[in-house]
Structure 1
Amino acid sequence: WDGAAELAQKLEPNDIVLLRNAYTRTGLAGKQEVHVGKVARVEVNPPGVTVGALEPSRIKIGELEPNMDALEVVGRVIEVTAPREFSRADGSKGKVASITIGDQTGTTRTSLWHEHADKVADIKADDIVRFINCYSTLGLFGQPELHLGKQGGLELNPAISEELPSTDVIKMAMPVPERTSIVDIQKEGMKVQVRGTVVRVFHRRPVFDICPDCGRSLGSVDTSLMCEECGKIVTPEHRVVLSFMLDDGTDNLRVALFGKVAERLLGMGTQQVFELFKDTPDLAELYDKFKLVGRELILAGTTRHDKYFDQLELRVSDVQFPEPKQEAQALLKKIKAGE
């Protein structure tokens, strides 16, 4: 902020910065942010201060969460999508390709940006890839996705210490969500479908910001922001986010919906939600307009452990609205099967 912002314009990559009397806050993307205000002191490349190199963290695909940085992920290629070009807001061109990879713990979509996009010409299903210094974001349908940007690296068919399952085995292992009572949801990683009623809505900002060029989550301002990956000021795109408690009579569960899934529930597009948010500063009034409390829903997704609230949460990938005839037929089928 203020004078510190002017100093930041002079920083170079690999500079060491020592901050004194700075403070932290939680950004709208849920990540901790360091803020440098008037009382803070900033020292650039102070004598005697060294910082070790950031080593990528090796994780399994099933351990992915949105907004993770400096990752190393190894997986087997399931599907490859050809590169496509796009135009940025400043008129320049960019390129992105995507592949789906999997391991023993799950699957994920990976976006390859810039020069990495052309590398998919040499990648085919059943290959093994290692992504180094990649990062994760939240996909349009509420699931974590990997991104490989200009700071990342890709190794094709590297030597690995543990064997990965084949593409066919990974596909067969993909679980289909099953209708489950909330009281029976006891661990993370479960693929479930639940039917219940919205009993409480959390009044949080209903949109978050991402970089239009690389998909990385940004900070908490509505206009131009600095993208860490692209290294420039961008005008963000918005994604819808909703969070509420669902009760099915056996117990209740916190659920989170993002992107297209949240749009489907509201019956509104992202821009419509954003404009409504800007025009309605009172969040309680805004959520009254959404008319979520009391609605009966069928939600499918994956359970995860929310570290901040220390509880299980359902990350929703699909939302349906109960049809009495279909629900009656499904119940009759279960009765006949003796369940």
Structure 2
Amino acid sequence: MHPAQDKDGGEGRVQNIIVADESAQIRLTFWNEDVDRIKDLQEGDVVSVTHAYAKEGFRGGVEVHLGRRAEIEINPKGSPLEQLDLSDLSVESRSQAAGLVRIREIDESNEGKSVEVSGIVMGATQASPVYPACPSCRKKVEEEGGRFTCSVCGDVKEPEYRMLYKITVDDGSGSIRATLFGETGEELLGMTAEEAHELITKSGNNLEPLERNSDRILGKYVSVRGRVSKFRDSMEIAASGLAFPDLVEVSKRERERIDELIR
């Protein structure tokens, strides 16, 4: 366990562990009070996690993060993993990490590739950060006369609201827009999509969630990971991961990067 900057900019705690079954291994990330729930965990214990979510890891690969709805059970009775032999499993990630790049280096040659950029959030799109979606297929639904219709599933009685908005990140070499989806967008905004929808409904202002939380978004130093795509004449990033890095670590990485370039 080590200290880290949480999404509110304050001091938090983070603990990463590696878990494995008979097929593979993966990293689990626990934050703040969830760290206490695994304080007595020992190597070889069985961990059951439900209602967590997967995202692209900050250093590449896939990680599992515990959100607000996650449940943890240590050594559940009757688990078939109790006798699992893990001797042949490596804890090293088998996936290729996305590279940290300067924004000015991103062009059409990066299209379709995963990258990581770090910089300051300079702005957010002036549009509602949530949209109504079909609870079955997750596609956006259309509203007309109080009725919601999905192009795939037909009439939708009660849509679910999902987060989707864009931010502009500047690293000093240039700026780029990044689209934040789902929990990634909720993490930066500091509220769920349902909470944002309720705020919009009460205020009558589609921008209320962004305006009310502008002080926690604008000027925030973030690292964004995702796939590069071209939108009209500009390159953008479809974010799959968001982190709030320690600036000391960022400076260290930049120093190593410069040393590598001048060798």
Residue 230 (1) aligns with residue 153 (2)? yes
1:277-308: CA deviation from partner (whole Å, max 9, x where unpaired): 222333455422122222221111111112xx
Change (3 A) 1:293 1:223: farther
Shift of 1:257: 0.4
- Following superposition of structure 1 onto structure 2, how do residues 206-245 of structure 1 map, counting pairs within 5 Å? 206-220=129-143, 224-245=147-168
One-letter amino acid matched to 2:101:
T
Question: Aligned-pair distance for 1:321?
Answer: 0.7
Separation in 2 of the partners of 1:323 and 1:221?
47
For residue 224 of structure 2, what is the aligned residue in structure 1?
Answer: 299
2:99 to 162, 178, 189: 178
Letter of the 2:130 counterpart: V
* Mapping of residues 92-111 of structure 1, within 5 Å: none
CA distance in structure 1 between the aligned counterparts of 2:124 and 2:102, rounded to whole angstroms = 20
Aligned positions of 1:1-339 closer than 5 A: 175-187=96-108, 188-220=111-143, 224-291=147-214, 292-306=217-231, 309-338=232-261
CA RMSD, 1 decimal? 2.7
Q: Is the 8 A contact 1:211 1:234 kept in 2?
A: no
Change (3 A) 1:334 1:273: same
Deviations 1:151-197 (A, max 9, x none): xxxxxxxxxxxxxxxxxxxx97x642211100000022121111111
Q: Which amino acid aligns with 1:176?
A: A
Larger Rg: 1
Output the TM-score relative to the length of structure 2.
0.57
Q: Deviations over 1:45-99 (max 9, x none)?
A: xxxxxxxxxxxxxxxxxxxxxxxxxxxxxxxxxx9xxxxxxxxxxxxxxxxxxxx
Q: In structure 1, what residue type is equivalent to 2:98?
A: P
Decide which moves more: 279-288 or 246-255.
Answer: 279-288
Query: Any conservation in 2 of the 1:240–1:262 contact (CA below 8 Å)?
Result: yes
Distance 1:270 1:221 in 2: 21
1:263, CA displacement in angstroms? 0.8
Question: Displacement, 1:335?
Answer: 4.6
Which whole-Å deviations, capped at 9, do the CAs of 1:249-272 have from their partners, x for residues lacking one? Answer: 111111110111101111212211
Residues 192 and 220 (structure 1 numbering): CA distance in 2 closer, same or farther, change over 3 Å? farther
Distance of 1:221 and 1:245 partners within structure 2:
32
Cα distance in 2, alignment partners of residues 215 and 327 from structure 1 = 36
Q: Which runs of 5+ in 1 are unaligned?
A: 1-78, 80-170
Supply the distance in 2 between the matched residues of 1:220 and 1:315 (Cα, whole angstroms). Answer: 26
Code of the aligned partner of 2:180: L
- Check the 8 A contact 1:212/1:234 in 2, yes or no: no
- In 2, Cα distance between the equivalents of 1:183 and 1:176? 20
Q: Unpaired runs of 5+ in structure 2?
A: 1-23, 25-92
Cα deviations by residue, 1:199-233 (Å, 9 ceiling, x for unpaired): 22211111112111222321256954122322333
State whether residues 116 and 225 of structure 2, in contact with CA within 8 Å, keep that contact through their aligned partners in structure 1: yes
| Contact 1:207 1:239 (C-alpha < 8 Å) held by counterparts | yes
Structure 2 counterpart of 1:293, which letter? L
Using the TM superposition, give the Cα deviation of residue 323 of structure 1 relative to its aligned residue in structure 2, in angstroms.
Answer: 0.6
Q: Is the 8 A contact 1:223 1:236 kept in 2?
A: no
- Count of aligned pairs between the two proteins: 168
